[in-house]
């Protein structure tokens, strides 16, 4: 099902800008370099980053904790494919969609709580708003996560964040 969705979205995506330089097409969508760093609220809340490998793919990561849970720590790393199925009608703004997968590692280090560490794969889907004249990106995403180590469980994580590209 996921493969069908990815093939369908890639068929709807805009044609890539031809270039031999890595990441040059992404620069046309926004100012700054391929690495963006910023802050996010969600699961996890904290630091976030994204490194564009080219116009169609990126590696993103986040580290922090859950709001309201003392001593909670989590880190995620995802490989995402970028699609452009939406035309904003405004040349200065683009809205790429990302789909991908990665890993989530989380746990609790509070001494009053019996800590447990959860590790498992996750799927991720989201949208980013990029501004041609600004080195920032605002994103929202959701990530169903299945924990396989320590205990078998699942959660639906999500984030809203802002990244500054240098």
How does the average pLDDT of the chain come out, rounded?
Answer: 83
pLDDT of residue 4: 44
Average pLDDT over residues 145-153: 87
> DSSP labels for 90-158?
-TTEE--EEEEEEEEEEEE--TTS---EEEEEEEEEEEEEEETTSSEEEEEEEEEEEE-BSS-EEEEEE
pLDDT of residue 5: 43
Q: What is the C-alpha separation between 106 and 87, in angstroms, rounded?
A: 37
pLDDT of residue 76: 97
Of 69 and 21, the one with more pLDDT: 69
Which range, 9-18, 29-38, 41-50, is most confident?
A: 41-50
The neighbour count for residue 18, using CB atoms within 10 Å, is 7
* Tokens encoding 128: 């980013």
- pLDDT tens digits, 114-123: 667 889 999 9
Confidence grade of residue 88 (pLDDT, cut at 50, 70, 90): confident
**How many percent of the chain have pLDDT more than 70?**
80
Domains annotated on the chain, with CATH: 35-165 (2.40.160.20)
Confidence grade of residue 113 (pLDDT, cut at 50, 70, 90): low
**How many percent of the chain have pLDDT more than 90?**
56
| Beta-bridge partners for 45 | 65
By the 8 A CB rule, do 145 and 121 touch? yes
- Predicted TM-score of the model (pTM): 0.79
Q: What is the C-alpha separation between 85 and 6, in angstroms, rounded?
A: 11
- 63-67, 97-101, 147-151, 160-164: the lowest-pLDDT one: 147-151
Confidence grade of residue 31 (pLDDT, cut at 50, 70, 90): confident
């Amino acid at each position: 099902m996921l493969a069908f969705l990815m093939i369908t979205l890639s068929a709807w995506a805009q044609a890539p800008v031809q270039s031999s330089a890595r990441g040059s097409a992404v620069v046309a969508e926004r100012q700054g370099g391929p690495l963006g760093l910023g802050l996010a609220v969600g699961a996890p809340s904290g630091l976030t980053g994204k490194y564009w490998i080219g116009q169609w793919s990126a590696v993103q990561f986040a580290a922090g904790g859950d709001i309201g849970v003392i001593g909670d720590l989590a880190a995620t790393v995802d490989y995402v494919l970028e699609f452009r199925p939406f035309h904003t009608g405004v040349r200065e703004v683009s809205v790429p969609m990302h789909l991908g997968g990665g890993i989530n590692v989380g746990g609790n280090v509070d001494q009053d709580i019996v800590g447990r560490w959860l590790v498992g794969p996750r799927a991720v889907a989201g949208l980013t708003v990029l501004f041609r004249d600004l080195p920032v990106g605002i994103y929202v995403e959701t990530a169903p996560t299945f924990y396989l180590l320590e205990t078998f469980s699942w959660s639906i994580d999500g984030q809203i964040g802002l990244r500054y590209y240098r």
